[in-house]
Every structure is written in structure tokens, then in C-alpha cells.
Amino acid sequence: MIPLLVTVLSYLDDVELGAELRIALADVCLSASYFGLLKWKDHMLKIAQDLGEAEPKFARKHHIRLSEIYRIKSGATLPPMVGLESREIGERIHCGNVVLLRLKFLVDQNISVSQVEAVAQLFQPSGTLSNQERRLVMNIQAIVARAYLHQGDFEEAAKRYSALMQEHISAESQITIDHSILTNYAEALCELGRFSQAIKHIQTEIEYRTSFTGTRLHLTLANAWLMQCLRRYWDSGVVDQTSLREAEEKYQKYLESWNQRFDRHASRFMKYNKYLALAGMAVSKHISTFNQLADTTIPDVMRAWEITRIAALDCSPQPRSAVMVAHYSQSVLAYCFGYEKEAKQFYQSAKTLFENTNKQYHFIGQGTVWLDILRSKAPNILFRFTSIPGVRALWAQRQLAASDLTSESDKETL
């Protein structure tokens, strides 16, 4: 359909269109903006605006879609939220889209869960819901669950993701559950130590949905295997080579696919995915040095973390927690192998960043088990920060709970 649309649009300058046909074609272009790379999306939105800006209902839809595109662009300034403050909008679908968009902005800014929940309450459709309304309700509930995930309340996040999926299944809806819901649920399970459940959950979805190796589902599966490896190392001091190998292979395949599909037009969220995969590879190389499982050299691991740091900056020009974690990792690596001068330099950079960002949970494992492992590797010189609360206590608590379980292969705690 896209090539056909391109052909039709090429004749627009030579054809006089009536008002009804202009709006119909504007809607088609608006829908087409959900496909392709950013350059194509911008092109479709510009044509849609030219065709339909005179019609108020279409103008509202166009504004929401334009705001979504601004949100996914790297470093873009968000457009003014004109008309989004009113709660007297007649169309329930439009009102729901406004609420959903506002929620996404709030979660991006790491606003408190209570504020996110208050905004979510603004959309409360009643009676028999249409498929569009049902999808909006599901996506709004998912955003609230993600807010809990980013605040580090993994138990509540997992509970909410599970509940909304069960509700969706019970309603016998024909709507497909979005990838982001499935992957965030799996991340919450991993943070709780329930790796087998997360791996089985994602593997089943991959087999059901696609054989393509470049989706967020595949990246999440790699993350789950790595989290299992990290947790088992934390519990036993031994690197689980099977989990590590599974993670490395899946990260490598994902990155190969990413590099074939995307270029400088990749959205901010696709860049985040690449960063996650690179960070996973860096952690994998780093943890291999703990038991000398591979021929990985110290320069190899340092280079992997430097590539990861650059990828993090590509997602956001301002150094944030992702860059902080890269510097922490480089600092500990240098310290463990006797490079104290370099270790202190990385440490100072990490400490400065931490004072500005604090501990965050936006990236799986980076606010919990990986940070705790790093602290345990260099307890005397580097990681005596009273301002990093509760990480060791959290995992010690889970380790204690796990000791009561009989399974040695996979201790699924909490």
C-alpha cells in the first residue's frame, strides 16, 4: 500500500480535490505516519496537515500524532500542548488519546506515580467499550504500570501488568497486546528474580508472533538470560556459562539486525534499544573477567563500555544514569586489575553524575543487581556511597528468601 500511496500523492499538485476527499486522503497520510522511518513520518504528517488543517476534528488528531512524533525524536523540543487542557472534548477517543499522550510525557520526565495515576483517572469510559476505547484503556493502564517499574516498585508493576493482560484475555478481545506491555512485564519479573517465568513468557510470544530476530521481544529475552546469569553470580560467586552464552548470542543477533535496519533516522526509542543491547554485551564481557571464562582482555571490556557510553549519549545529549553506570563499570574494572589512577578518574565522573541523577530503574538490572555486583567488587575504595540506598539490603533480603526454596537451578524469589 505504501508504494501505491506514494504514486497517488505525486499527482496531488495536478488535481483539484473536494473537501471530503481531502479529509479522507489526510486521514490516509496520518495513518501512513505510523510506518517507516522518521523522515517518512515527517513527510506524511506535512502532507496530512496541508490537506486537512481546515477541519477542526482532523486538526486535533493531527496535533496528537505530531506530538507523538516530537516525543520519539532525539533531542526534539515538544510542541505546545494547545487544547490538551480541556476536559470538555466531546469525542471520547480523542479525550483518551490526549490522556495517553500526557501520561507518556509524565513518565518520560520521571514524574511521581501519584501524579501519573491522577492523570490516568481523567479517562473513564463507561458502558460497552469499542475496540478503540478498550485499547486506550489497556495502554493507559500499561503506562501507569510502567511508572511503578521506573520507580523501582517491581512487585506492583508486575501485578498491574499481569492484571491488565488477564482482563484483556477475559474480555475475549481481538486486539493484540502491544510488545511494550509484554516486555515491561518480563523486566519486572526479572527484577523480582522470576527468570524462568520471564524467559518462558517471552519465548512463547516470539514463537507465536514472529521469527524475525530484531524485535524488542528478542532484546528482552537476551536481557532475561543476562539477569539470570547476574543473579546466580550474586548468589554463588560462579558465572553461569549457559545463561551468559544465551544472552551474548541473542544480543549479537539483535545488534546485527538493528544495524541492517536503522541509520541516522532511527527514533529515540530505537536508539534506546541499541543502547540496551550494547550495555548487555558490555556487562557480558565484564562478567566474563570474573572467572576468566573467555579470552576477553581488559581493553576489550573498556572499549565495550566506551561504545555503550557513546550510545547512551546518542539517546540523550545530557549525561544521565546510563552514562553513570558505564563510568562505574569502567572504574571497578580498572580498580580490580590494578589501574588505580584510571579507576579514580572514572569514579569521580560517576560520582558527579550520580549526584545529579540519583539511582534509576529505567534500564533493567542497572539500578539493582549489576550495581550491587560492582559495589561488591570494590568495597573499600570506590563504592562507599551512603547516597546509594538499599541495593545490597534489597538483594540480601531476596537471597535470604531464596534460601528457603528447594530449587537449586532457578530460585524464583518474592
Rounded to the nearest angstrom, the gap between the alpha carbon of residue 204 and the centroid of all alpha carbons in its chain is: 20
Lowest mean pLDDT among 119-133, 180-194, 279-293: 119-133
Gap between the Cα atoms of 321 and 388, Å rounded: 13
- What is the per-residue pLDDT for 251? 95
Print burial letters for 389-411: b (CB count within 10 Å at least 16), e (below 16).
eebbebbeebeeebeeeeeeebb
CA distances from 345 to 124, 331, 349, 353, 354 (A): 52, 8, 7, 13, 14
What tens digit of pLDDT does each residue of 57-84 get? 788 788 888 877 877 765 555 544 444 4
Gap between the Cα atoms of 86 and 93, Å rounded: 14
The larger pLDDT score, comparing residue 199 to residue 43, is at 199
| 3-class DSSP assignment, residue 139 | helix
Q: How many CB atoms lie within 10 A of CB 133?
A: 17
What tens digit of pLDDT does each residue of 276-320 get? 999 999 999 999 888 765 566 888 999 999 999 999 888 876 667
Please report, rounded to a whole number, the percentage of residues in the chain having pLDDT higher than 90.
29
Print burial letters for 276-291: b (CB count within 10 Å at least 16), e (below 16).
bbbbbbbbbbbbbbee
Q: What is the crossing angle of helices 195-209 and 216-236, to 10°?
A: 160
SS3 track for 284-334: HHHHHCCCCCCCCCHHHHHHHHHHHHHHHHHHCCCCCHHHHHHHHHHHHHH
pTM for this predicted structure: 0.76
What tens digit of pLDDT does each residue of 152-167 get? 899 999 999 999 888 7
pLDDT band per the 50, 70, 90 thresholds, residue 88 = very low
CA distances from 314 to 104, 257, 308 (A): 21, 19, 10
- What is the per-residue pLDDT for 145? 95
- What is the per-residue pLDDT for 143? 94
CA distances from 127 to 122, 164, 238, 326, 349 (A): 16, 18, 56, 50, 55
Smallest Cα–Cα separation from 202: which of 235, 247, 157, 167? 247
What tens digit of pLDDT does each residue of 201-250 get? 999 888 887 656 668 899 999 999 999 999 999 999 999 999 999 999 99
Average pLDDT of span 375-403: 47
- What is the per-residue pLDDT for 388? 38
pLDDT band per the 50, 70, 90 thresholds, residue 412 = very low
- What is the per-residue pLDDT for 117? 93
* Report for 40-44, 144-148, 404-408: range of highest mean pLDDT: 144-148
Gap between the Cα atoms of 44 and 376, Å rounded: 52
Q: Is residue 103 scored above 80 in pLDDT?
A: yes
pLDDT band per the 50, 70, 90 thresholds, residue 252 = very high
Q: What value does the mean pLDDT of the chain take? A: 79
